[in-house]
């Protein structure tokens, strides 16, 4: 499934789903949610994945190496958004996420993020554990096709 089709397929196409409440402070002068807040919604989905089951090794942390974000529609306050997250690729020390943000079932943003596990002492990439790799592979989805 392509990135565009996954967004059209809806939140149900994603193996991991979460939501976030819109805050009045998220709005800007145009009366819609500011574009910078979209990255925070993506973070909500990533954190759900990364820390619900503590994927990082002791002495390691996850960092973002790349974030591609496509704005598809504006988000209006008040309300909620849903964030769908899927893994599209698992590498030696990194993985690629595909995420979509939805408001009222409509895709408003889609993103591809490359996340790298970094050794906190050396500040260099560190291989993923077998446990982390197995967990990430359970979240690989056709929704995450590129």
In a domain, 146, yes or no: no
For the chain, residues with pLDDT lower than 50 are 1, 146
Question: Would you say residue 53 lies in a domain?
Answer: yes
3-state secondary structure 99-132: EEEEECCEEEEEEEEEEEEEECCCCCECCCCHHH
DSSP structure string for 10-62: -GGG-SEEEEEE--GGGB-TTSSB-HHHHHHHHHHHHHHHHHHTT-SPTTEEE
Number of domains in the chain: 1
Nearest to 126 by CA among 67, 61, 47: 61
pLDDT of residue 142: 65
Q: Which residues pair with 83 in a beta bridge?
A: 18, 101
In-domain check, residue 29: yes
pLDDT of residue 145: 57
Q: Could you identify the residue written with the tokens 């149900």?
A: 12
C-alpha of 53 from chain center: 16
pLDDT attached to residue 9: 77
44: its two tokens: 């909500």
Please give the model's pTM, rounded to 2 decimal places. 0.89
**What SS3 state is found at 135?**
helix
Structural domain of 58:
3-140
Separation CA 125–CA 55 (nearest Å): 15
pLDDT the model gives residue 143? 60
Q: Is 62 within 8 Å of 125 (Cβ atoms)?
A: no
Sign of the dihedral through C-alpha 74, 65, 142, 46? negative
Q: What is the CATH number of the domain that holds 60?
A: 3.10.129.10
How far apart (Å, rounded) are the C-alpha atoms in residues 99 and 87?
A: 9
Look at residue 10 and tell me if it is in a domain: yes
């Amino acid at each position: 499934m392509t990135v565009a089709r996954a967004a059209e397929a809806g939140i149900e196409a994603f193996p991991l789903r979460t939501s976030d409440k819109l805050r009045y402070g998220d709005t800007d002068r145009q009366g819609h949610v500011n574009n910078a807040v979209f990255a925070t919604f993506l973070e909500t989905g990533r954190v759900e994945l990364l820390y619900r089951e503590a994927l990082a090794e002791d002495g390691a942390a996850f960092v973002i190496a790349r974030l591609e974000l496509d704005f598809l529609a504006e988000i209006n306050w008040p309300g909620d958004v849903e964030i769908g997250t899927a893994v599209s690729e698992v590498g030696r020390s990194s993985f690629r996420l595909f995420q979509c943000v939805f408001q009222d079932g409509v895709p408003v943003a889609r993103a591809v993020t490359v996340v790298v596990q970094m050794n906190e002492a050396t500040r260099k990439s560190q291989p993923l554990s077998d446990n982390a790799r197995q967990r990430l592979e359970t979240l690989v989805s056709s929704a995450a096709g590129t």
